[in-house]
Amino acid sequence: MGFSTDAIHAGQIPDPVTGAVITPLYQTSTYAQDELGKHKGYEYGRTQNRTREALEANIAALEKGKYGIAFASGLAATHALMSLVKAGDHIVISNNVYGGTYRLFEQNMTNYGLEFSWIDTSDAANIENAIKENTKMIFVETPTNPMLVLTDLEKVAEISKKHNLISVCDNTFMSPYFQNPLTFGIDIVLHSTTKYLGGHSDVIGGIILTSSDEIHERIRYIQNAAGGIPSPFDCWLILRSTKTLAVRMKQHDENARAFADFLVKSGLAEKVIYPGLPEHPQHELAKKQMRGFGGMVSADFGSLERAKKVLNNVKVFTLAESLGGVESLICHPASMTHATVPKEEREKFGLTDSLVRFSVGIEDVEDLIGDVKRALI
Ligand code: P1T
């Protein structure tokens, strides 16, 4: 089936009682059992929920995976991944990932005997060189938040298989509409469903996708054992949103291309970063492993004063954390999403105080362009 057909139908079974076309909201914490030791496959809401199962099957289909395991947030999903490693293990990870991922791993997981090597994964040789005796996992975000640096997924899968490691890709920025890491041989895909999958800035969620029976079993176990589950209503909202993922992503992509092009041609920014620009250093890789370039654009305005001028004066863009909603958002990564990354670390990969991140929404693009023009006059 095509992407949109799966998005609208996968995991959706009409309600057996009423025939309701839309998966009902099973807002229940527990289930009546027929007699002792005999139930309908549903015992307790943390363990099983029909709305959550529908969401998991739906996104698994979009990511070409066998299994989906949903969580209360992207970070809850990231945290659940740590049940695949143990004290003394080493993880190789992209140096520029979402600041919250950095904070969780570097400031918390290291307390449990885990070791992380933060490297530039855009060069596969760096990954090979970072692997040690105790390495268990390679974790990449591609494109990265907010520098939009790409990592070659085919190469990561190859290196990972050679060294018997678990490979993970945070695919939040591309959404399954533009990139399917499992098809390149990556073991696990992670999403903050708060972003494009949710799409309307009204829900927090996360999900892990895999085709490995063993990984599924371990993550499913921790979903129940630690209990970081999403509410049935949040699952229902995300399910409603995935139905329109394709049309939204097409518009995000079209708008972001035009917006990045305007920033380059106007000369308003010193540097414009967007994988769809031919001058992006990995434009060719972007064309190879992605089916579009997405809705995220970053730009360096040369000074904090100039960055502030854009951030404070826009009216159509909203100054806020997060991304991937239908409405355009603007953010200052250095003081907002990546504030926990030490200045000297973030500046090594270009995350300066003058960098501004745009989550280009699906409004009329002329209004977005006009907004930034006005802000800078
Ligand atoms: O916010 P949460 O649903 O817990 O997802 C965390 C997360 C994971 N991975 C990526 C690539 C992300 O961008 C995020 C969250 N990011 C933001 C809130 C942000 O504004 O960048």
Task: Identify the structural domains of the chain with CATH numbers, from first to last.
Answer: 3-242 (3.40.640.10), 245-375 (3.90.1150.10)
Residue nearest atom 19 of ligand 1, based on CA coordinates: 322
Distance in Å, CA 137 to ligand 1 centroid:
20
Residue nearest atom 1 of ligand 1, based on CA coordinates: 74
Ligand 1 atom index nearest CA of 204: 3
pLDDT at 14 (0 to 100): 85
- One of 152, 170, 253, 371 is an active-site residue; which one? 170
For the chain, where are the alpha helices, taking DSSP H only?
A: 3-9, 50-62, 74-81, 99-107, 124-130, 153-162, 175-178, 213-226, 232-242, 245-266, 283-289, 304-313, 343-348, 365-376
> pLDDT under 50 in the chain at which residues?
none
Q: Is 76 exposed, middle or buried (0-12, 13-18, 19+ CB in 10 A)?
A: buried
pLDDT at 272 (0 to 100): 98
- One of 67, 98, 102, 196 is an active-site residue; which one? 98
Residue nearest atom 21 of ligand 1, based on CA coordinates: 322
Judge contact between 233 and 25, C-beta under 8 A: yes
Residue nearest atom 12 of ligand 1, based on CA coordinates: 98
Around ligand 1, the residues with Cβ closer than 6 Å are 73-75, 98, 100-101, 141, 145, 170, 172-173, 192, 194, 204, 206, 321-323, 337
Q: What is the value of pTM for the model shown?
A: 0.98
pLDDT at 183 (0 to 100): 98
pLDDT digits (tens, 9 = 90+) for 189-218: 999 999 999 999 999 999 999 999 999 999
User: Is 195 part of the annotated catalytic residue set?
Assistant: yes
CA-CA distance, 357 to 340, in Å (whole number)? 17
